[in-house]
Amino acid sequence: MSDPILLTPGPLTTTAQTKAAMLFDWGSWDNAFNAMTASVCKDLVGIVDAQDSHVCVPMQGSGTFSVEAALGTLVPKGSKVLVPDNGSYCKRIVKILAYLGREAVVLEHSEQEPANVARIDAALAADPSISHVAQVHCETGTGILNPLAEIAATVARRGRRLIIDAMSSYGAIPIDARKLAFDALIAASGKCLEGVPGMGFVIMRRAALEGAAGNSHSLALDLLDQWQYMQKTGQWRYTPPTHVMAALHAAIDQYQRAGGLAARQARYQANCAALVDGMRALGFKTFLPDALQAPIIVTFHAPADPAYQFAEFYRRVRDQGFILYPGKLTAVETFRVGCIGAIDPAIMRRAVAAIGAAINSMGVRAAA
């Protein structure tokens, strides 16, 4: 039986070449592995054109490990962070800040509202003690894309520092460090680069990182200590995710050969269009209007038909080879379908057909 297609925002479906890269065992202090780490970090910085001003610090663990590491390393104790909140991953940042003992100023938005630049500007003007803004670029709780360039310009004009959670946008939606000021941009191996999960990374403005001594709450998550050790020795401080790094190295090679960010963005946009067109033809309604939808993951309203139950719907779609994602909203019942990974529009059309077959077999008469 072949592996199911993962229509999720990570972990996601990977190529055979990426999987094959994990069949070799690496020594964590071996020169060849250290050279691989250095090569990957160089490539990661280059994808956002940050090589002149920023450095890449890899971190073991899921992307959330790196979000916490970045906040804990860059935000001094006693500082205050503005968090525009329009989804679950914004709320996770607020929760992390509470654990860290850093004050969060939460700017509430609805889940269908992109982060409002004018409100961010007003909040910064009203409270000079806010030192940082933590902004999620693509909020995968819904699939909404926030206006990062405008937010970054506002934060810079107000003389504050920007930390970007680009977990689900990095590598597929353009971000240019030469035009957009940020102290940290956080992403992970198992997202739009189509590696496997297990490693995050933070692209950090060198001057901000060098000035972060004494901030971190954690030895394991101290990005300054991690970077300094790697600069001195070429090695990770503690046991690295060697197989994950090898898979990411292979995935980046494929990414670059395929045409880099422009090609990845185009494929994901084509996937998203095939998905949305097909689902609307079945009668499903998207949670977001097209103008706010990122080509990463799409949230659909669940059918109101009493014959619909998500667990059964999920099982029937999975039996046909596709794994969906549950909704993450609290106000309405939804489910989500990812557009990323080593998939193409033909696979998306097959997934739509599987969804149609599932609801028909369940006796769901109205998808809307």
CA dist., res. 104 & res. 79, Å (int) = 9
pLDDT of 248 over the 70 cut: yes
pLDDT of res. 34: 97
CA dist., res. 32 & res. 240, Å (int) = 14
Q: Measured on CA atoms in the order 338, 69, 41, 238, is the torsion positive or negative?
A: negative
CA dist., res. 349 & res. 368, Å (int) = 19
- Separation of first and last alpha carbons in the chain: 33
pLDDT of res. 2: 79
Residue type, 25: D
Query: Each residue of 118-132: pLDDT tens digit?
Result: 999 999 999 999 999
Confidence bin at 330 (pLDDT 50/70/90): low
Query: Each residue of 99-152: pLDDT tens digit?
Result: 999 999 999 999 999 999 999 999 999 999 999 999 999 999 899 999 999 999
Mean pLDDT across the chain: 96
Q: What is the pTM of this model?
A: 0.96
SS3 364: coil
pLDDT of res. 329: 72
Percent residues over pLDDT 70 in the chain: 99
Average pLDDT over residues 232-246: 97
Query: Each residue of 286-319: pLDDT tens digit?
Result: 999 999 999 999 999 999 999 999 999 999 999 9
Count the alpha carbons within 13 Å of 45 in the hemisphere toward its beta carbon. 18
Fold of 260-362: Aspartate Aminotransferase, domain 1 (3.90.1150)
pLDDT of res. 309: 95
pLDDT of 327 over the 90 cut: no
Q: Are 195 and 18 in contact (CB under 8 A)?
A: yes
Q: Residue 182 corresponds to which tokens in the numbers above?
A: 């940020």
Fold of 17-257: Aspartate Aminotransferase; domain 2 (3.40.640)
SS3 10: coil
Lookup result for tokens 């997934």: 351
Average pLDDT over residues 315-339: 91
Every domain range in the chain assigned CATH 3.40.640.10: 17-257
CA dist., res. 248 & res. 255, Å (int) = 10
Lookup result for tokens 């609290």: 330
Every domain range in the chain assigned CATH 3.90.1150.10: 260-362
pLDDT of res. 331: 74
Number of C-beta neighbours around residue 43 at 10 A:
17
pLDDT of 283 over the 70 cut: yes
Q: How far is CA 115 from each of CA 93, 108, 121, rounded to the nearest angstrom?
A: 15, 9, 11
pLDDT of res. 1: 53
Query: Each residue of 175-190: pLDDT tens digit?
Result: 999 999 999 999 999 9
